[in-house]
Chains A and B, each alone.
Chain A
Amino acid sequence: MSHTTPKATRHVNQNEGLIFEKSSAGKAAWKLPPLDVPEVDTKKLLGAAERKDLGNMPEVSEIEIIRHFTRLSTWNYAIDLGMYPLGSCTMKYNPRVNEVVSRLEGLANAHPYQPEKASQGALRILKLLSECLIEITGMEAITLQPAAGAHGELTGLLMVRAHHHSKGHPRKKILIPDSAHGTNPATAATVGYAVENLKSNSQGRVDVSALAAQMNEDVAALMLTNPNTLGVFEQEIHKIADIMHAKGGLLYMDGANMNALVGKVRPGDFGVDVMHLNLHKTFSTPHGGGGPGSGPVAVKKFLEPYLPTPVLITKADGTLGFDYDRPQSVGRVRSFYGNFGMFVRALAYTFANGPDGLRQTTEDAVLNANYIRKGLEGVYDLPYSTPSMHEVIFSDKLQAKKGVRTMDIAKRLIDYGFHPYTTAFPLIVPGALMIEPTESESKEEMDLFIDAMRSIAQEVEEDPQIALNAPHTTRVSRLDEVAAARKPVLRWKPQT
C-alpha cells in the first residue's frame, strides 16, 4: 500500500474456530439449582415423545464461550468504532442509557399477557411514544405493532387495501418509483397488488406528468420515499399528493429517510395518508448485526378504523388498556404488541433530545451530508445536481474508466478504517455510491472519510489494482460468493 491511512492500522487479531470445534463431552457452562419438587420419570410422562439425544449440540465451559464471542466481536466493524456512511441506513449513535432502561426488571420481565392492572407502566410507554411519533410525523393515529420497516409497509398497504375495499373497489396496482428500496415492490406483491414502475425525471425526482398519466382508478396508492433514495426532497409533493387524491388514490410514504425531516417538516402536513417509521434508523435503536427493528405505521384519521388489533385506549377510569373490538381492523400482523424493547429505546432517545435536540439532530444530519458532498465533488461523478438533504449519491463513472467499480472502491475504503457506503442502490444510478453520514459524525471523522475517498480516487488513477484487490488489511480477503451460492454450506457438520 503506497498511501498511509491515519484512521486504521493492522493489529494482532485472535483466531477462533467454530464453537463445535471446541466441544468435548463433560464440559459445562451451566448449573441448575436443586429441584424443589419431586423428580419425574420422563419415559413415563412422555413415552414415545421422549427425546433421547441432542446430537451435536456443543458442550463447552463459560470461559471458552466468553473468549469465543469476544474474539468474534473483534472481527466486526461497528458504530462504536467509526462512521458507517451507509445511505438510507441512518447508522447513528446508539445511546447506552437506552440499553439500561430497557433492562429495568419491571419492563424486561413483563409478560405480554399479564393483567392490564399490572401493566400500566408499559402501557404508558406505548401511549407516550405513540403521541410523540404522531406529533413528529404530523399524522393522526398510529400502530406500533410492525416489527420492522418492511413489516410496516405491509401493514400500511393492508390498510390502504381495506380503505379501498370499503369504497367498493380494492383497485389493482401500486405505483412505485424506480428509485425505491426493494422492500417496496416485494411488499406490494405480498398484499396482492401489481407493481407499476414510475420513472424519475432528470433531476431524480418523481416525473409529475408521468404520474398524472399513470394515475387512474385502478391505482390504489403511490409508495414514495421522501426525501427519496437519492437524498433529494420531492419539491412537488403538493402536486403529487393532489394527483393521487383527485382520483381517490392514497399517498404512502416510506419513512426510511425521516432523519432529514424530524423537527423541520411533517409528512402529515404535506399530504401523506399513511407512512411507516424505522425506529432502528431515525430513533437510534441499535442495528445489532441486522435487527431487531421496529416499524410503526402512522395514519390519517380516515384510516384509523383499519389499524391492526389491538389498539391502545384510555378507559373511563383513566387507566390504559387494549381494545380488541375492532370490526374493521386489518387483523394482526404479529403476536402481542410489537417490539416493545425498541419502544423503550426510542422514547428514551426522544427524552434525551427534546424538541431542540431533535431539530438540531436533523440539521446536523443534513449539514454533514452536504459537507461530504462538497468535499468529494469533482473527485467522484455527481449524477444529479439537485440539492442533497441527509444523504448524497455519487457514481463510479470516472473510476470505471480505469476498470474500477463502486464495490471495489467500497472494499478499499475498508483499508482506510471505514465501513463501505451503500453500493449499487438505488437502481436508477448505475454504479452508485450512496453516502449518509448522520448527525453522529464529528468534523474530524468526516475529514478522515473525505481524505480517504480522495486518496482512493488518486490510487485508482495511479494503480487500479490496489482497489481491485482490496481489502488488503482485513482478517479475510474477498470471499468467494459464487461458490457459496452454487454449493451452499449452511451449517457445520462433524467430520465423518
Chain B
Amino acid sequence: MRYLPKSPADREALLKAIGARSIDDLFDSIPAEYRLNRDLKVPRQMAESEIVDWFRERSRENGDGYTTFLGAGAYYHYRPVIIDALISRGEFLTAYTPYQAEVSQGTLQSIFEFQTMICELTGMEVANASMYDGSTAATEAVMMATRLTGKHSVVIAQSVHPEYREVLATYAVHQDMPLTTVGYGQNGRVDQKKLEQAITPQTACVLIQSPNFFGTIEDVAAIADMAHKQGALLVVSISEALSLGIVEPPRQADIIAMEAQSFGVPLGFGGPYCGVIATREQYVRQMPGRLVGQTVDRNGKRGFVLTLATREQHIRREKATSNICTNQALVALMVNIFMTVYGKVGLRELAKQNLAKAAYATEQFGKHAKVLFQGAPRFNEFVVQTSEDPYAINGRILGHKIVGGLPLKKFYPELGNAALWCCTEMTNRTSIDTVTGMIAESESTPEADVEEVTR
C-alpha cells in the first residue's frame, strides 16, 4: 500500500524486536468473538488515476460550470489563486494545532493577524481563531450572552437565517433557554415594535442578522438601544462577510458572530466554512474557541501562543465555555490571505461591485415581477415575488445551466411565490438579462407546462 513506508522485511524486523511471532499477537487483547475474519465490504483498492476519474465523473454530475444566483448564507466570490498556492504548502496543510508554540509560530502569527483583521472589519476589540461556521458561531455567541448576563431568555429575529435558528433551537432545548421569535415588517427588517415588546428584564440577548436573510440591512443602533435598556446584550450575526467592505459594521453590538466563507472559502457544497466570534475585551473570558496572544520568549523576542486556555475543554472540562476543540484553522488561513490580498481598498471596491450588480438586477427584475422589502437598504441579495412558482421558473432556467434564486416557500410560506436572489462580482450582466428576460416572458404569459425542480 502506497502510503505505508514499511517493507515486508521491515515488518519482520519490528516483530522480532518486539518479540511477537506475528501481527496477530499484537491484537490478542481483542476478544476472539469480535475479531473480523473477513474483508471490509468497501470498494476495492484503486489506483490514483482511478480515484481522480471517479471524482471527476461526480464533478460532471454536479452542475459543473453552471452560473449561480444562490446566496442565503453561502456566497460565490472569486478566490485569488495565491490562496491555494499558499495553504497547500505542507507546513500549513499538514501542521497540527499550535499547542507547542516554538514549532508553530507560522500558524500562530497568521491567526494573530486574522484576529486583528476581524476586529478591524467588525469594529470589535477581540476576535477568536474561528468556530465551525456561522450557525454554530451564532449559537455559541447566544450561549456566551446567557453566561455573561446570568439570564436565560433569548429573543431572535425571524429574519435571521432559518438554519441558524434551527441550530440554536437544537442547542437551546437542553440549556433551559426559552426562545421568542419576532417577525419582520414590510421593509424586510425585524419588526421593531414587536421586538420592543418581546424584550423583557429576563432577556439575556437579542439575536439579529445584518444584512439579514432577505439581504436587508437592519437598524442596529435602534435595536441595540432596545436591548441595552433592558439589560440584554445584542448579538449580531453576519453571514455575508463581504458586506463589511461597504456597510457600517454593527459597532453597537456586544457580540458579533460571523460566517467568513465569502472571504476565499470555496462553496464546496456547504463546508468546511469559517465561523468567527468577535466581542468587547471585557467579555473575552467567556468567549469560546481558541485565542492567540502576543508575548515574548526568554530572550525578549516577540512570539505568539495560544492563550486563555483555561476557558477551553481540555482544562475546564465540564465547566468549559464550550466543548469545541478542533476549529477551522486552514479555512481561517484562506480567509486571512483573502483579506490581506484585497485589504483596505480592495474589500470596499469588491463590495461596491456586488452592490452594483445587485442594484442592476433588482431594477431588471422589478420591471417584470415584484421586488419585496423596499424601504430599507440592501447589500447583494434581494427577494423577488412572481406569479409563477419559483420552482417552475428555476426548472426552466436550469436548462440554460443557470441556477436560480432560492424559493422561500419552505422557510417563509407566508411570502408565497418568493425567491431569494444573490448577485456578486461573479454574476455577469448577460446572465442577469437572460434570467430576467425569461421571467418577463412567464410573468406576462399564462403558466406553461414546465418541469418543476424540487429543492
Contacts and interface: CB of A to CB of B under 8 A. Distances in A.
Nearest to B330: A288
Interface in A267-294: 269-270, 280, 284, 286-294
B296 interface: yes
A232 B90 contact: no
Interface in B111-156: 111-113, 115-117, 119-121, 125-127, 129-130, 132-136
A359 interface: yes
B112 A81 contact: no
Interface stretch (B46-54, B198-206, B223-231): B46-54
A120 to B, nearest CB: 5
Contacts of A351: 43, 45-46, 50-51, 54
Nearest to A337: B270
Contacts of B87: 288
B156 to A, nearest CB: 15
A111 B377 contact: no
B72 A113 contact: yes
A75 B270 contact: no
Given A99-B88, A289-B329, A341 B266 contact: yes
B339 interface: yes
A313 interface: no
B377 A49 contact: yes
B106 A72 contact: yes
B63 A106 contact: yes
A33 B344 CA distance: 18
A449 B422 CA distance: 54
Given A106-B59, A113-B70, A367-B26, A288 B42 contact: no
Nearest to B351: A51
A482 to B, nearest CB: 9
Contacts of A490: 112, 115, 126-127, 284, 291-294, 307
Contact of B270 (A99, A149, A338, A373): A338
B96 A419 contact: yes
A19 B10 CA distance: 47
Given A57-B121, A78-B94, A46 B246 contact: yes
A15 to B, nearest CB: 10
Interface in B312-341: 312-320, 322-331, 333, 337, 339-341
Given A335-B270, A476-B301, A291 B328 contact: yes
B453 A115 contact: yes
A118 B64 CA distance: 9
B438 interface: no
A233 interface: yes
Which of A16, A111, A442 has the most chain B CB within a 10 Å cutoff? A111
A48 B317 CA distance: 45
A51 B244 contact: yes
Interface string B282-319: 00100000111111111101011101111011111111
A128 B43 CA distance: 9
A42 interface: yes
A331 B164 CA distance: 11
A62 B220 CA distance: 36
Given A46-B247, A358-B40, A425-B314, A29 B100 contact: no
B179 interface: no
A485 B331 CA distance: 26
Nearest to B3: A93
Contact of A186 (B59, B90, B313, B454): B313
B93 A288 contact: yes
Interface string B26-62: 1111110111100111111110101110111111111
A357 B45 contact: yes
B31 A356 contact: no
A195 interface: yes
A364 B4 contact: yes
Interface stretch (B78-86, B180-188, B366-374, B442-450): B78-86
B413 interface: no
Nearest to B364: A37
B429 interface: yes
Given A192-B175, A291-B329, A18 B109 contact: yes
A359 B40 CA distance: 9
Residue in B297, B344, B394 with the greatest tally of chain A CB atoms within 10 Å: B344
Nearest to A80: B90
B21 interface: no
A474 interface: yes
B357 to A, nearest CB: 6
A51 B246 contact: yes
B412 interface: no
A373 B19 CA distance: 12
B271 interface: yes
A265 B152 CA distance: 45
A95 B93 CA distance: 11
A262 B1 CA distance: 15
Contact of A51 (B36, B119, B245, B297): B245
Given A115-B403, A370-B18, A492-B112, A97 B40 contact: no
Given A66-B82, A78-B95, A117 B107 contact: no
A136 B305 contact: no
Contact of A18 (B113, B266, B342): B113
Given A118-B66, A291-B328, A442-B6, A233 B30 contact: yes
Nearest to A107: B59
A442 B269 contact: no
Contacts of A280: 326
Given A122-B269, A337-B271, A471 B102 contact: yes
B299 A94 contact: no
Contact of B134 (A79, A309, A335): A335
A237 B31 contact: yes
A364 B322 CA distance: 35
A106 B377 contact: no
Nearest to B113: A19
A74 interface: yes
Contacts of A46: 217, 246-247, 355, 377
A352 B45 contact: yes
9 cross-chain pairs, A with B, having the tightest CB-CB distances, nearest first: A288-B330, A354-B45, A336-B270, A80-B90, A106-B64, A106-B59, A121-B62, A331-B170, A290-B329
